[in-house]
């Protein structure tokens, strides 16, 4: 009989007006991989923050049972939890042995125990049935190997619960499936995994059960195969009014056009294999660049958007060739880009929603361009801002995730760019947020904007892309 790893009984916790948990009860057994599903502010993130010791409880007591033992307080619970995120792998100059040796060791021990540490780590890998050269640097590992090493580190640390909040950027479906199999072997008999991912694909590939949250409550616990499709899942995740809004967003259609007017061209752009290639972008076209390598993906975005100049690469805008470009030239040509959609980096947090809509980032649009356009944008504000997600007078820094996404995209939609370059636009999106982004992309394209998307995987873009260009995928 499987042992319990985590049990929570009838938890009620109120953190903020939007952050609450009501009557939460669940049990997770050893070897289980449970996907937590829910919209932003559904309660799943708040529960995981409590488990991971990220919230001071103050007057509210939070307790749970870990491996049958009652643990009181979020800080004590954190000792049994390992959080797996992409930021864990930024220490890329360390060897595998050193990275895993960070568990329970100080600098003095590590400096004078190098060989012993390597042998100890090698033995631990063998116990898990894994073969990996522990003297390799973390930066030399594949994305799959990095995740495996992190999971082994969790076991070495004595964690009982691994919270996976990694979007597995740089990994395709095949490698993610392979990781899921390795993960099941590592956690068997000793740990449990909670998957908290924005990606439907990742949640599906890693989980064998789902716990579904809505409005601070658990509304469904089930085996993964119980959920037949997205529409079935929506019944649990979305309120009737949100379902109606999502259906309206999803029904927005792309217009078919026979126009083949080139609005933007990049000549001699360097690709990862060292070859140079020209790329042409047409009016109203949606083009997705797929790149698994994270550094390469970001470099491609920076070059496509004109944020980085590379020797030999030139740009053609309005039939004129430019080399050594700067942001003022791109602003004047109405070529804009969004790198962190959904984050507060893209807005002015102290300004109101209305002010943000009328004041595009000065790094992308010159002050003169703004003055010329401000009257026009003011008139369009009432006509085009139809989301109804936030009042125009509300401070932008107070917005929820989907409202931030809407605000950022609406600002550029009002500006009517010729080219819009997006970097991983779905990475912070819940199910409703995906519909918001896809609807805006179609709106931009229907208005004549050439939309360029840079992503790792084809998830969410297969049905809207006119072209998908795979840059560094294995043949």
Contacts of residue 124, defined as CB under 8 A and 6 or more positions apart, other chains included, come to 100, 152, 155, 156
Residue 204: closest CA among 237, 188, 228: 228
Evaluated on CA atoms 456, 424, 330, 442, the torsion sign reads positive
pLDDT of residue 311: 87
Element (H, E) at 124: helix 114-127
Judge contact between 83 and 165, C-beta under 8 A.
yes
pLDDT bracket for residue 391 (50, 70, 90): low
**Model confidence over 322-380: pLDDT tens digits?**
886 677 788 888 999 999 998 888 877 777 777 777 665 444 444 444 444 444 444 44
pLDDT of residue 115: 66
Percent share of the chain, pLDDT over 70: 87
pLDDT of residue 363: 45
pLDDT of residue 351: 77
Extended strands (E) in 305-459:
314-317, 320-323, 335-338, 419-423, 450-455
Q: In whole angstroms, what is the distance from residue 361 CA to residue 347 CA?
A: 8
Cα distances (Å, whole numbers) of residue 440 to 253, 263, 421, 443, 446: 11, 20, 13, 5, 10
Which of 7-11, 24-28, 237-241, 375-379 has the lowest average pLDDT? 375-379
Judge contact between 352 and 443, C-beta under 8 A.
no
pLDDT of residue 57: 59
Most confident option among 228-242, 299-313, 349-363: 299-313
Considering the entire predicted model, what is its pTM? 0.85
Pairing of strands 161-164, 33-37: unpaired
Which of 58-67, 161-170, 213-222 has the lowest average pLDDT? 58-67
Extended strands (E) in 93-244:
161-164, 192-195, 209-214, 217-223
Which is higher by pLDDT, 106 or 46?
46
Q: How large is the greatest C-alpha to C-alpha distance in the chain, in angstroms?
A: 72
């Amino acid at each position: 009989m499987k042992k319990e790893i985590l049990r929570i009984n009838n938890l009620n916790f109120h953190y903020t007006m939007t952050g609450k948990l009501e009557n939460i009860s669940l049990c997770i057994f050893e070897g289980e991989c449970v996907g937590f599903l829910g919209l932003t502010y559904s309660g799943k993130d708040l529960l995981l923050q409590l488990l991971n010791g990220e919230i001071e409880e103050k007057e509210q007591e939070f307790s749970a049972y870990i491996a049958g033992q009652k643990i009181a307080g979020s800080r004590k619970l954190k000792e049994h939890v390992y959080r797996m995120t992409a930021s864990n792998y930024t220490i890329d100059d360390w060897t595998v042995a050193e990275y895993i040796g960070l568990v329970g060791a100080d600098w003095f021990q590590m400096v004078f125990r190098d060989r012993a540490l390597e042998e100890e780590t090698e033995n631990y890998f063998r116990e898990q049935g894994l073969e990996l050269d522990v003297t390799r640097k973390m930066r030399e590992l594949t994305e799959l190997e990095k995740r495996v090493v992190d999971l082994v580190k969790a076991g070495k640390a004595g964690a009982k619960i691994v919270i996976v909040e990694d979007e597995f950027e740089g990994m395709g479906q095949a490698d993610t499936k392979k990781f899921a199999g390795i993960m099941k072997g590592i956690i068997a008999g000793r740990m449990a995994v909670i998957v908290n991912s924005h990606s439907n694909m990742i949640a599906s590939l890693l989980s064998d059960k789902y716990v579904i949250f809505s409005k601070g409550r658990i509304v469904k616990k089930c085996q993964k195969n119980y959920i037949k499709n997205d529409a079935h899942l929506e019944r649990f995740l979305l309120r009737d009014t949100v379902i109606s809004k999502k259906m309206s967003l999803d029904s927005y259609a792309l217009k078919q056009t026979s126009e083949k007017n080139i609005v933007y061209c990049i000549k001699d752009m360097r690709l990862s294999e060292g070859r140079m290639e020209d790329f042409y972008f047409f009016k109203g076209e949606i083009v997705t660049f797929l790149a698994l390598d994270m550094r390469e993906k970001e470099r491609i975005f920076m070059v496509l958007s004109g944020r980085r100049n590379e020797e030999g690469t030139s740009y053609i805008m309005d039939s004129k060739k430019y080399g050594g470009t700067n942001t003022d030239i791109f602003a004047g040509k109405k070529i804009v880009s969004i790198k962190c959609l959904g984050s507060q980096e893209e807005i002015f947090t102290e300004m109101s929603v209305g002010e943000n809509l009328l004041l595009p980032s000065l790094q992308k649009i010159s002050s003169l361009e703004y003055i010329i356009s401000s009257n026009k944008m003011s008139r369009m504000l009432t006509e085009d801002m139809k989301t109804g997600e936030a009042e125009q007078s509300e401070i932008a820094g107070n917005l929820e995730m989907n409202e931030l996404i809407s605000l950022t995209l609406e600002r550029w939609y009002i500006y009517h760019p010729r080219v819009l370059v997006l970097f991983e636009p779905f990475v912070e999106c819940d199910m409703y947020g995906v519909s918001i982004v896809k609807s805006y992309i179609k709106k931009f394209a229907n208005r004549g904007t050439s939309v360029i998307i840079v992503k790792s995987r084809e998830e969410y873009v297969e049905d809207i892309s006119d072209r998908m260009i795979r840059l560094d995928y294995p043949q």
